[in-house]
Amino acid sequence: MPTMPTVELHLHLEGTLEPELILALAERNRVDLPYADPEDLRSRYEFTDLQSFLDLYNANLDVLRTGEDFHDLTAAYLARAATAGVRHAEVFLDLQSHTGRGLRPEEVLDGVTAALDTSRERGLTSGLIVTLMRHLPPEGAVEAVRQVLDSGAEVLGIGMCSTELVRHARDFAPAFGLARAHGLRLTSHAGEEGPPQHVADVLDILHVERVDHGVRAMEDPALVERLAADQVPLTVCPLSNVRLGVFPSLGEHPLRRMLDAGLLVTVNSDDPAYFGGYVDENFRQVTAALDLSADHLRTLARNAVEAAWVDDARRAELR
């Protein structure tokens, strides 16, 4: 029975920054932190909503100062992913959060891609998706896409994350249009804290191929019908949704209803260092809480392979 995932499609590299690594990087870079030890930091991981999480997540980025730091962060995630049985990972990077602190885009991108390349040689394939920040001015999003294109770094796609409650998707049409014109793949967070209309907006206005989260689409039956008919992949993150208060408990998570509605859903980890588990733990907990069947698990595994941005040869290997 396939109980474990092999493909991860919704993972923020910055969300894999474990407390131990935060403190080690702070020491290496001589950054003063207000935490006595990793447990002290971990004890603050009580979130009331997405913004309360983003505030701490963004504050912790201060320890990432050099290309080597980004390499080490990425390498640590890939080692953990391999132990979860992941064979292909498409990972998000909040480039603007780092260039906004004065880092050069090439330094950040080269650090990440060097670690991805090393892991690829060992059989764990990957793709890098640069996530545009919805809370920042849209002109900066265009600039970030230009930086990606100018860097020559191996970037697979462009996404968008951060709070959904500011700005309209249309504000980011120029950035997504530029990325699309240069052959980058497109995805966006939507329908996590925002209403179902946000899911329709990123599909219709930004022309994304996948939707990250998308769980609130379940509030709109016509949208569910559309997503099922078009088999739009939705990268769902159960532990994240509960930790950020999108749903009160895993038992009330709509994943099983989404599967039963014929949606192309996948299970992913989002920010595992903050939400209590990597993708294997997400699978374990959601399977138990929703009493998922062997059929459900087979469908989830197959969906992730079909939704991955890989060529036919790699897709055949992952099947």
User: Which residues make up each annotated binding site for Zn(2+)?
Assistant: 10, 12, 189, 270
CA of 230: how far to CAs of 169, 170, 185, 201, in Å? 21, 22, 17, 15
Residues 6 or more apart in contact with residue 266 via CB below 8 angstroms: 7, 9, 10, 233, 234, 235, 236, 300, 303, 304, 307
Binding ligand ADE by CB under 6 A: which of 8, 12, 72, 142? 12
Active-site pick, 8, 192, 209, 306: 192
Q: CA-CA distance, 70 to 91, in Å (whole number)?
A: 13
Tell me which of ligand ADE, Zn ion, none is bound by residue 192, counting a contact when its beta carbon lies within the kind-specific cut-off of 5 to 8 angstroms.
ligand ADE
Q: CA-CA distance, 315 to 319, in Å (whole number)?
A: 6
Tell me which of ligand ADE, Zn ion, none is bound by residue 71, counting a contact when its beta carbon lies within the kind-specific cut-off of 5 to 8 angstroms.
none
Q: Is 270 in the site for Zn ion (CB under 5 A)?
A: yes
Q: Is 297 in the site for ligand ADE (CB under 6 A)?
A: no
- Any idea what DSSP says for residue 92? E
- C-beta of 110 vs 281, nearer to Zn ion: 281
Tell me which of ligand ADE, Zn ion, none is bound by residue 210, counting a contact when its beta carbon lies within the kind-specific cut-off of 5 to 8 angstroms.
none
Angle at 138 between CA 145 and CA 167, to 5 degrees: 135
Contact in structure between 110 and 148 (CB atoms under 8 Å) = no
Binding ligand ADE by CB under 6 A: which of 60, 119, 240, 266? 240
Applying the rule CB under 5 A, the residues between 86 and 145 that interact with Zn ion are none
Minimum distance from CB of 272 to ligand ADE (Å)?
A: 11
Helix (H, G, I), strand (E, B) or coil at 297: helix
Q: Is 141 in the site for ligand ADE (CB under 6 A)?
A: no
Sign, CA torsion 276/269/123/115? negative
Binding ligand ADE by CB under 6 A: which of 161, 215, 259, 264? 161
Q: Name the region of 85 (left: φ>0; alpha: ψ -120 to 50; beta: rest).
A: left
Active-site residue flag, 192: yes
Q: Is 271 in the site for ligand ADE (CB under 6 A)?
A: yes
What residues form the annotated binding site?
Answer: 10, 12, 189, 270-271
Query: Under the rule (CB under 5 A), what is the footprint of Zn ion?
Result: 270
What is the set of active-site residues?
192
Query: Under the rule (CB under 6 A), what is the footprint of ligand ADE?
Result: 12, 15, 50, 161-162, 189, 192, 240, 270-271
